[in-house]
């Protein structure tokens, strides 16, 4: 007998911890590119892409073909026991794609949090220092060190401490939130003056465009000054491209918009088109400090996920993913700005390529974030057949992460549902 969404939700409540959140009580049965169908047969347009994992869409034929072929060969000999050629091939490809002019190497892992943790390990062993500076609003994972680096307490950090020591947070430069480049840089100087000497700092880690933090983008000028600061003090600059990478912003990596070269780059999400794979890519001179056995993991560099990643990276040029991201971003931003004229609750529309967001506030006031409206919009859009994701340090941002391969007509259909959903939540919310 076919199970309904409600029946699965009841079973989920008993079997799965509530700490694993769900945006919608909808259970997916199949998917194709930017469309989903649930167990009851209802169709949805996917503006979430598995949280930025599916830049190439659900079940891209090239990815499925590559994975199927790999499954017929082998699944897990473990690279640290008996290595395999495709690990090397993908490492060479990522080394070439990384916007770093120095010789590079690649460490393959399973999750973005692993990539972040290993970035810190490499920075520490390469510099002989321990302190790390991250930014408020950042999200770097749910491991203990990942949470320490993450700059948002609720829901990620509350009750899970104490966290590893030696982690400091500076405000992220976000003009809409009233934080200028100058203020963010001054805060770094304040950390050096009051908390930790720059000579003790191993790394500064930053998202060029914050993901969970709200899709705020650091300016090229700020990133260049941050690079200069790191060079001055011998600090490793780590760029977290886990959400912004692999063509989401119209460049293969978001840092390329600034012309800044990082020392290390963390990658995951859309690297392997839906299969669990992460990478740490960066300067060989840093990796050379780590002795054999200090890096790796049992499942790190899964052959099946590597096959998917080789297919995905081949699609960058073949399907012109960066150009498609730019076109998709223009389509989204144009329509959202038109909606902002109709709905005063849309306080800001911003985007870099197809990494687009709108900020919901009360009566257009940037100082009055409307988290309740944001949550209601996600639920109403879901009822109408559109999957949305919220984010932001104030919980009031809708982020748009449609697959870069989504058909223009499908995106327009999704935006029509968004408009309809906004009308419903605006008209049904209780008067204050």
Q: pLDDT tens digits, residue range 392-416?
A: 999 999 999 999 999 999 999 999 9
Domain finish residue from 284, 318, 352: 318
Residues 166, 22 share a domain: no
Residues 166, 133 share a domain: yes
Residues 229, 83 share a domain: yes
pLDDT for position 426: 87
Half-sphere exposure for 276 (CA within 13 Å, toward CB)? 9
Find the domain containing 405 and state its range.
5-56+320-428
Q: pLDDT tens digits, residue range 25-54?
A: 999 999 999 999 999 999 999 999 999 999
- CATH code assigned at 229: 3.40.640.10
Residues 276, 203 share a domain: yes
Domain finish residue from 295, 318, 341: 318
- Total residues found in the chain within this entry: 432
Residues 190, 152 share a domain: yes
- CATH code assigned at 47: 3.90.1150.10
**What does the pLDDT profile of the chain (432 residues) look like in tens digits?**
679 999 999 999 999 999 999 999 999 999 999 999 999 999 999 999 999 999 999 999 999 999 999 999 999 999 999 999 999 999 999 999 999 999 999 999 999 999 999 999 999 999 999 999 999 999 999 999 999 999 988 888 989 989 999 999 999 999 999 999 999 999 999 999 999 999 999 999 999 999 999 999 999 999 999 999 999 999 999 999 999 999 999 999 999 999 999 999 999 999 999 999 999 999 999 999 999 999 999 999 999 999 999 999 999 999 999 999 999 999 999 999 999 999 999 999 999 999 999 999 998 889 999 999 999 999 999 999 999 999 999 999 999 999 999 999 999 999 999 999 999 998 887 655
Block residue for tokens 């950042």: 138
What value does the mean pLDDT of the chain take? 96
Residues 135, 157 share a domain: yes
Give the bridge partners for 30, in sequence order: 37
Closest residue by Cα to residue 355 from 229, 221, 219, 212:
212
Residues 269, 292 share a domain: yes
Residues 108, 172 share a domain: yes
Exposed e or buried b per residue across 160-194, where buried means at least 16 C-beta atoms within 10 angstroms of its C-beta: eeeeeebbbbbbbbbeebebebeebbebbeebbee
Number of domains in the chain: 2
Q: Is residue 102 reached through a cis peptide bond, with omega within 30 degrees of 0 on the bond before it?
A: no
Residues 240, 326 share a domain: no
State the pTM of this model: 0.96
Residues 418, 306 share a domain: no
pLDDT for position 305: 98
Q: Is residue 255 reached through a cis peptide bond, with omega within 30 degrees of 0 on the bond before it?
A: no
Other beta carbons less than 10 A from residue 97's beta carbon: 19
Residues 281, 351 share a domain: no
Domain finish residue from 292, 318, 344: 318
Residues 38, 128 share a domain: no
């Amino acid at each position: 007998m076919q199970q309904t969404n409600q029946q699965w939700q009841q079973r989920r409540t008993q079997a799965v911890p509530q700490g694993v959140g769900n945006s919608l009580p909808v259970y997916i049965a199949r998917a194709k590119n930017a469309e989903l169908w649930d167990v009851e047969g209802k169709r949805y347009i996917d503006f979430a892409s598995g949280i930025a994992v599916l830049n190439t869409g659900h079940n891209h034929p090239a990815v499925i073909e590559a994975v199927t072929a790999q499954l017929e060969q082998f699944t897990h000999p473990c690279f640290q026991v008996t290595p395999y050629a495709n690990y090397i091939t993908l490492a060479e490809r990522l080394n070439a794609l990384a916007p770093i002019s120095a010789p590079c190497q690649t460490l393959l892992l399973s999750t973005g949090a692993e990539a972040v943790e290993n970035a810190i390990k490499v920075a520490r062993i390469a510099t002989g220092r321990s302190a790390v500076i991250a930014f408020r609003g950042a999200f770097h994972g749910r491991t203990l060190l990942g949470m320490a680096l993450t700059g948002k307490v609720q829901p990620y950090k509350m009750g899970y401490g104490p966290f590893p020591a030696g982690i400091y947070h500076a405000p992220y430069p976000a003009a809409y939130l009233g934080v200028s480049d100058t203020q963010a840089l001054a805060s770094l100087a304040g950390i050096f003056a009051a908390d930790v000497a720059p000579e003790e700092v191993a790394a500064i880690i930053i998202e060029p465009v914050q993901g969970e933090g709200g899709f705020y983008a650091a300016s090229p000028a700020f990133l260049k000054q941050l690079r200069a600061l790191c060079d001055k003090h011998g600090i490793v600059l780590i760029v977290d491209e886990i959400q912004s990478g692999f063509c989401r912003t119209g460049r293969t990596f978001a840092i390329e918009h600034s012309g800044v070269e990082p020392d290390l780059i963390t990658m995951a999400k859309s690297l392997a088109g839906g299969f669990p794979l992460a990478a740490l890519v960066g300067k060989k001179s840093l990796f050379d400090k780590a002795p054999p056995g200090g890096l790796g993991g049992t499942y790190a560099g899964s052959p099946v996920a590597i096959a998917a990643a080789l297919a995905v990276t081949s699609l960058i040029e073949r399907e012109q993913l960066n150009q498609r991201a730019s076109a998709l971003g223009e389509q989204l931003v144009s329509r959202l700005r038109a909606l902002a004229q109709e709905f005063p609750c849309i306080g800001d529309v911003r985007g870099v390529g197809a990494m687009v967001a709108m900020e919901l506030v009360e009566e257009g006031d940037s100082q009055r974030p409307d988290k309740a409206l944001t949550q209601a919009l996600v639920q109403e859009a879901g009822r109408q057949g559109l999957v949305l994701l919220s984010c932001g340090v104030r919980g009031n941002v809708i982020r748009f992460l449609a697959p870069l391969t989504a058909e223009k007509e499908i995106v327009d259909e999704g935006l029509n549902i968004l408009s309809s959903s906004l009308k419903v939540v605006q008209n049904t919310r209780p008067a204050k």
